[in-house]
Amino acid sequence: MPDLLSTPFLISAVVACIAGMVRGFAGFGAAMLMTPVFSALYGPAVGIALCLLLEIAVALPLLPRVVRLVDWRRIGVLLVAAAIGVPFGNLTLTWADPEPMRWAISAIVLGAVIMLASGWRFSGRPGTATTLTAGATSGFLNGLSGMAGPPIAFYYLAGEDPAARVRANLTTYFVFVDLFAITAFASRDLIGWSTGVYGLFLAPAVIAGGLLGERLFPLASERFYRWLALVLLVCVALGSLLL
């Protein structure tokens, strides 16, 4: 039973609520806030596992209102590739030197942001090879750091889908890829009973934030949504240095 009045738990609850609001609005970005803080408070393995549990908790209430906009065929291809990438990321988490991994993730994400900010877009719909690469990279990063967002956000933002469809696809994709990652963590005994209890008590905070973010989304323009997504990706790049 967590101490609900302890400083670490109160910090976690506030961060979870803010992260939920970001996720509810943008469809991604919650992990970039939760993972560094939770990892600092509880250690990387527990922090990442806790983040994954809360990512699913915040997304479930949002799904009924976005599934009609989801491109299930592309989501399916992305998830097949992500399912392959997650175990490799999870194995890397336990044996690789984290320092070069942090810098590599940061450099890749910043490079993607620069490309998007310059106005670069896919010429037509992305092909199967591009979709598989995005999914595998996302799965790898999710197993490694609990942050599957950058490759998939880049993949959708570089396309021509409207913001509502981008958000719907991101929201739906992350539910499934987080389930893959949780399965990988559980199979290697990296999710303990105490982590599940903490997740249960933090779930109301992240869900409340998610529902608030969902309410705010219709108020934003397409331009604002895309620029906010780029800002979130920059924050991911900088936050990866703290993992």
The pair of three-digit structure tokens given for residue 30, joined into one six-digit string: 């919650």
Mean pLDDT of 21-32: 87
Closest listed residue to residue 130, CA positions, set 119, 142, 122: 122
0.85 surpassed by pTM? no
Mean pLDDT of 135-142: 86
Give the span between the Cα atoms of 194 and 66, in whole angstroms: 32
Least-confidence region, from 111-115, 138-142, 166-170, 171-175:
111-115
Give the span between the Cα atoms of 160 and 233, in whole angstroms: 18
Q: How many Cβ atoms from other residues are within 10 Å of residue 96's Cβ? A: 12
| End-to-end Cα, the chain, rounded Å | 26
Mean pLDDT of 62-73: 92
Question: With 90 as the cut, is the pLDDT of residue 204 above it?
Answer: yes
Higher pLDDT, 177 or 96: 177
Question: With 70 as the cut, is the pLDDT of residue 109 above it?
Answer: yes
Mean pLDDT of 35-43: 83
Higher pLDDT, 126 or 170: 170
Give the span between the Cα atoms of 18 and 33, in whole angstroms: 8
Mean pLDDT of all residues belonging to the chain = 84
Alpha helices in the chain (DSSP H): 7-26, 30-42, 44-59, 72-95, 98-117, 128-145, 149-157, 163-187, 193-216, 222-239
Mean pLDDT of 78-92: 87
